[in-house]
């Protein structure tokens, strides 16, 4: 399986368990690794792959419209979106929430899902 990746994508959303976290949008950094069929490399046709520009736009739009308490739930939401809406074979999602804790550069979560898993 081949992979497409997006590293360091910025997206804004309301996230957090504390009231002060939910008062304004926070900018997250998101890394995605998306599994695509190997035929993509041979066909040279956009319809045979996952269009990373469309993925980026869809993730940003969805996160602007959603509210989350936990990074884990946000990461699961992104994984489901990529698998269901874009037909990816697999996806690894890494979400980073920078500067949220004193003396900690960033906190985050990483999950990996495949199309064969029950994501419901």
**Residue found by looking up tokens 């419209």 in the block:** 65
Assess if residue 88 is contained within a domain: yes
Assess if residue 91 is contained within a domain: yes
Q: What confidence tens digit (pLDDT) does each residue in 47-99 have?
A: 888 999 999 999 999 999 999 999 999 999 999 999 999 999 999 999 999 98
Query: Closest by alpha carbon to 108, among 4, 56, 31, 52?
Result: 31
Assess if residue 12 is contained within a domain: yes
Q: How many domains does the chain have?
A: 1
Assess if residue 102 is contained within a domain: yes
pTM of the predicted structure, to 2 decimals: 0.90
Q: Give, to the nearest 10 degrees, the angle between helix 71-86 and helix 52-65.
A: 140
Joined together, the tokens standing for residue 85 give 């809406």
Assess if residue 119 is contained within a domain: no
Active site residue 3: no
Beta-sheet pairing, 67-68 with 2-15: parallel
Tell me which of 3, 10, 39, 97 is the catalytic residue. 97
**How confident is residue 120, by pLDDT bands cut at 50, 70 and 90?**
very low
Assess if residue 33 is contained within a domain: yes
Q: Which CATH number characterizes residue 13's domain? A: 3.30.1130.10
Assess if residue 10 is contained within a domain: yes
Assess if residue 120 is contained within a domain: no
State the DSSP string of 98-119: EEEETTEEEEEEEEEEETTS--
Beta-sheet pairing, 26-36 with 2-15: antiparallel
Range of the domain at 33: 2-114
């Amino acid at each position: 399986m081949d992979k497409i990746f997006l590293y360091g994508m910025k997206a804004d959303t309301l996230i957090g368990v504390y009231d002060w976290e939910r008062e304004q949008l926070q900018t997250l950094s998101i890394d995605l690794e998306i599994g695509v069929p190997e035929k993509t490399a041979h066909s040279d046709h956009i319809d045979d792959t996952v269009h990373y520009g469309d993925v980026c736009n869809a993730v940003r739009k969805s996160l602007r419209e959603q509210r989350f308490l936990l990074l884990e739930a946000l990461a699961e939401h992104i994984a489901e979106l990529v698998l269901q809406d874009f037909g990816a074979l697999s996806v690894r999602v890494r979400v980073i929430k920078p500067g949220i804790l004193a003396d900690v550069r960033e906190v985050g979560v990483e999950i990996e899902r495949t199309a064969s898993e029950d994501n419901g």
